Amino acid sequence: MRLAQRLDNVETSAIRELFKLLGKPGIISFAGGFPDAALFDVDGIREAVLAALEHEPGAALQYGATEGFDPLREQLAAFMAAKGVTGVAPADLIVTTGSQQALDLLGKTLISPGDTVIVEAPTFLATIQCFRLYGAQLLTVPVDGQGADVEVLQRLIAEHRPKFIYLIPTFGNPSGAMMSEARRRRVLELAVRTRTLVVEDDPYGDLYFDAPPPPSLLALSAQVPGSRECLVHCGSLSKVLSPGLRIGWMVAPPRLLAKATMCKQFSDAHTSTFAQATAAQYLAAGRMPATLARVRAIYAQRAQAMVQALRHELGAAIEFVPPRGGLFVWARLSGAGGACADGAELARRAIDHGVAFVPGAPFFARDPDRATLRLSFATVDEDRIREGVRRLARALRG
């Protein structure tokens, strides 16, 4: 069987191999990229699905419009408006099967083989693979504590005229970094000036710990003339409400949105109306603010526990910027005192010591920094986080 040529561009993730080891009894896993299922508002979702089946069983179970279930589009527009987004009507967004599908539709709609796309270094692994499947050549812009480096971005745009730029400006996976408001403005201005499309992926922005993050690029675009026409925004209910619903959405300029909708028609016809009607009822019921407050508080405690334990147990052997939201600590092994400075090597040793995490190298589309690692605190309670970090320290020492 001859496979399509596009498959030559990707490989099965090295991380998948690691995940097979996670079933080992007693292991403490910082490896997942998942929210904590114990925090899901099961009662709220039950009420929502019962309401959907009671009030609109036909709509909830029948085929629906490719663009999405209108009551959900209205709720999502209102959800964004409550976060400071102005001028985005329900018709300006389509519902996607998780925000992963938004990435896939962008790839399908925009990327011809050989096109250049700029992503952050590091960035979300499935983004790298998704865009490569459509034949993208990926260039990378480095990320520091303030987000993507806009100077480098500007130079790359000038040199390579990319098809688009893909950013996760707020608590991104894996970097956890929060792009400053100043840089956000500069990104939008740069997009307008160079007529470059910017894709903002924002699944984690709601998960801040103390103060809210700066406005999303979408919210900020109201203040930068012309930038809305250069901007795609991808949202998701997966990190707060439930990944199992597979509800994401995409805001894009009208022509692009129409073409992405056409592509979606031939990808999966539409996102589950059963899940969409449930999500619409959930949002309409007004339970989201309380759910958000609860998960923010718990993830904040877990993040703090991990940050303190890492400093206490690993000290100078590890460097990181404490996250201000999201699910991850992104760290770098300094090699201080001759300790291990290879994330993959440490990940292997860590399994033997009963703790798992994901090495950082695969998150780089090119020029991997092999000293990096991603630690998720999301699904582990504070005592286990401290124990896990102790095991990590033992693994590092030998």
Binding mask 285-314 for a second copy (x = CB under 8 A): ------------------------------
Residue 147 sits at φ, ψ, to 5 deg, of 95, -160
**Span 211-240, contacts to a second copy by CB under 8 A:** 238
* Nearest approach, Cβ of residue 132 and a second copy (Å): 9
Asked whether position 253 contacts a second copy by CB under 8 A, the answer is yes
- Tokens representing 234 are 């991808």
Asked whether position 57 contacts a second copy by CB under 8 A, the answer is yes
Asked whether position 194 contacts a second copy by CB under 8 A, the answer is no
Q: Could you say which of 30, 134, 328, 364 contacts a second copy (CB under 8 A)? A: 134
Amino acid at 92: D
Segment contacting a second copy by CB under 8 A, of 40-48, 169-177, 304-312, 370-378: 40-48
**What's the CA gap between 46 and 265, in Å, rounded?**
29
| Choice between 158 and 336, CB closer to a second copy | 158
Given the DSSP bridges, would you call strands 116-121 and 164-167 parallel, antiparallel or unpaired?
A: parallel
Question: Residue 54 class from Cβ within 10 Å (0-12 exposed, 13-18 middle, 19+ buried)?
Answer: exposed
Given the DSSP bridges, would you call strands 147-148 and 137-144 parallel, antiparallel or unpaired?
A: antiparallel
Binding residues for a second copy, total number by CB under 8 A:
72
Asked whether position 254 contacts a second copy by CB under 8 A, the answer is no
* Nearest approach, Cβ of residue 171 and a second copy (Å): 18
- Tokens representing 321 are 């910027």
Going by the DSSP 8-state scheme, the letter that residue 216 receives in this structure is P
Segment contacting a second copy by CB under 8 A, of 137-145, 182-190, 261-269, 319-327: 261-269
- Tokens representing 159 are 């040199």
* Nearest approach, Cβ of residue 84 and a second copy (Å): 26
Asked whether position 149 contacts a second copy by CB under 8 A, the answer is no
Give me Rg for the CA atoms of the chain: 21
Asked whether position 278 contacts a second copy by CB under 8 A, the answer is yes
Q: Could you say which of 18, 51, 64, 313 contacts a second copy (CB under 8 A)? A: 64
- Tokens representing 306 are 């991990």
Asked whether position 265 contacts a second copy by CB under 8 A, the answer is yes
Nearest to 207 by CA among 10, 321, 377, 92: 377
